[in-house]
């Protein structure tokens, strides 16, 4: 029943995030907000909503390891699994924004996150506020100074929904995110007890994989339909949002304290490592392109991270 609850929770979260994004984009378009602003604000926050709600609910419910593991595990899965599978199926070209702005910002966010939690083993409100304010400054910079941005663009089918339908999607999305997070958290706690492992292990593996499913499915569907392939910038952007928005807002609502030191001795170093290794892979052997060999390297690294957790 525990694994069933996790699966149901993930499904409800995915649907809730989709409904919320449809409503947010439709309302933004109705008020004539520029598409680039929609993509980097409304859509980015909407697609990070499952991680955000799960982390906040976990922290408030007294399960901070689920909140931390959800973010750390999702960041590892986004690059080690989602990106890996994407480029194994079809190579992608990497825009210059990656090494000029996106990758440096991801590394800076990761370093700040590590510095804040290693000092006292917790992330408190003012530290979360620093992360979130820096994110807002970064977004303003992107909107003002970059003409083209790779992150989470608004959907290509800019279908203008009626206000009543938009509000319905908004309410359904919000309710589904709450219900899905409650179901997922309870299922994850039960699963950890059933398997005899810590909540940290379940969160950085199963829970984080579940919240990364939308990115994976979007990547594969884009390839099948021969549409514009998901870019590296989208996943880097997701990782930045996970740290600076999800952990930032979560800690502002409820301090997040580390209970399992495995986060600092193992998990966060994997997040650092996979985030860092992307840079040399982009430039070798062919500049600004990621292919199937790079995907195999990333998938191997992800397997080395995941498999020992349950041994």
If one compares 64 and 297, the residue with the highest pLDDT of the two is: 297
Q: What is the CATH number of the domain that holds 294?
A: 1.20.1420.30
Q: 3-class SS at 291? A: coil
Percent of residues, the chain, with pLDDT higher than 70: 83
Residue 27: closest CA among 172, 152, 156, 163: 163
Cα–Cα distance measured from residue 116 to residue 264, given in angstroms and rounded to the nearest whole number? 12
Residue 106's pLDDT is 93
Q: How confident is the model over 178-183, as a mean pLDDT?
A: 79
Q: Look at 33-47, 89-103, 255-269 and tell me which has the smallest mean pLDDT.
A: 33-47
Residue 107's pLDDT is 95
Flag whether 169 is in a domain: no
Please determine, for residue 154, whether its predicted confidence score (pLDDT) is greater than 50. no
The burial class, CB within 10 Å (0-12 / 13-18 / 19+), for 218 is middle
Q: Which of 57-61, 153-157, 160-164 has the highest mean pLDDT?
A: 57-61
Contact 203/68 with Cβ under 8 angstroms? yes
Residue 152's pLDDT is 47
Q: 3-class SS at 57? A: helix
Q: 3-class SS at 49? A: helix
Flag whether 116 is in a domain: yes
Q: How confident is the model over 31-42, as a mean pLDDT?
A: 61
Flag whether 167 is in a domain: no
Task: Give the total number of structural domains in the chain.
Answer: 1
Q: Look at 28-37, 112-121, 147-156, 231-240 and tell me which has the smallest mean pLDDT.
A: 147-156
Flag whether 279 is in a domain: yes
Flag whether 236 is in a domain: yes
Residue-wise pLDDT for 189-210, tens only, equals 788 778 777 888 888 887 787 7
Angle, to 10 degrees, between the axis of helix 208-224 and the axis of helix 64-77? 30
Residue 18's pLDDT is 76
Residue 226's pLDDT is 58
- Give residue 122's domain range: 35-157+198-310
Residue 278's pLDDT is 92
pLDDT category at 299 given cuts 50, 70, 90 is very high
Instruction: Pull the structure tokens for residue 265.
Output: 């001795």
Cα–Cα distance measured from residue 118 to residue 255, given in angstroms and rounded to the nearest whole number? 14
pLDDT category at 108 given cuts 50, 70, 90 is very high
Cα–Cα distance measured from residue 167 to residue 180, given in angstroms and rounded to the nearest whole number? 19
Give the helix, strand, coil percentages of the chain, each rounded to 5: 80, 5, 20
Q: How confident is the model over 147-167, as a mean pLDDT?
A: 60
Instruction: Pull the structure tokens for residue 246.
Output: 């999800």
Cα–Cα distance measured from residue 305 to residue 267, given in angstroms and rounded to the nearest whole number? 8
Place of tokens 């999607």: 169
Q: Identify the H or E element spanning 284.
A: none
Cα–Cα distance measured from residue 299 to residue 85, given in angstroms and rounded to the nearest whole number? 8
Please determine, for residue 54, whether its predicted confidence score (pLDDT) is greater than 90. no
Flag whether 214 is in a domain: yes
Flag whether 53 is in a domain: yes
If one compares 95 and 111, the residue with the highest pLDDT of the two is: 111
Q: How confident is the model over 233-238, as a mean pLDDT?
A: 77
SS3 letters across 266-282: HHHHHHHHHHHHHHHHH
Flag whether 174 is in a domain: no
């Amino acid at each position: 029943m525990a694994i069933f609850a996790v699966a149901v929770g993930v499904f409800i979260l995915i649907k809730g995030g989709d409904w919320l994004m449809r409503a947010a984009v439709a309302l933004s378009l109705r008020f004539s907000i520029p598409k680039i602003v929609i993509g980097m604000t409304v859509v980015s926050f909407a697609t990070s909503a499952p991680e955000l709600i799960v982390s906040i609910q976990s922290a408030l419910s007294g399960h901070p390891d689920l909140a931390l593991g959800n973010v750390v595990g999702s960041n590892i899965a986004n690059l080690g699994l989602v990106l890996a599978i994407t480029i194994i199926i079809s190579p992608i070209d990497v825009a210059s924004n990656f090494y000029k702005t996106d990758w440096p910002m991801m590394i800076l966010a990761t370093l700040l996150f590590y510095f804040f939690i290693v000092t006292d083993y917790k992330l408190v409100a003012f530290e979360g506020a620093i992360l979130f304010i820096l994110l807002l400054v970064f977004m303003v910079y992107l909107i003002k100074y970059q003409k083209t941005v790779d992150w989470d663009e608004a959907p290509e089918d800019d279908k203008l929904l009626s206000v009543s339908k938009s509000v319905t999607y908004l309410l359904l999305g919000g309710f589904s995110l709450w219900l899905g997070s409650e179901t997922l958290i309870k299922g994850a706690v039960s699963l950890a007890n059933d398997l005899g492992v810590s909540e940290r292990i379940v969160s950085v593996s199963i829970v984080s994989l579940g919240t990364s499913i939308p990115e994976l499915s979007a990547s594969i569907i884009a390839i099948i339909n021969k549409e514009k392939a998901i870019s590296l910038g989208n996943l880097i952007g997701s990782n930045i949002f996970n740290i600076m928005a999800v952990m930032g807002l979560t800690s502002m609502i409820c301090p997040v304290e580390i209970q399992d030191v495995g986060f600092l001795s193992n998990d966060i170093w994997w997040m650092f490592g996979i985030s860092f290794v992307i840079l040399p892979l982009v430039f070798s052997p062919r500049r600004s392109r990621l292919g199937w060999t790079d995907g195999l390297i990333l998938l191997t690294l992800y397997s080395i991270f995941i498999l020992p957790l349950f041994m």
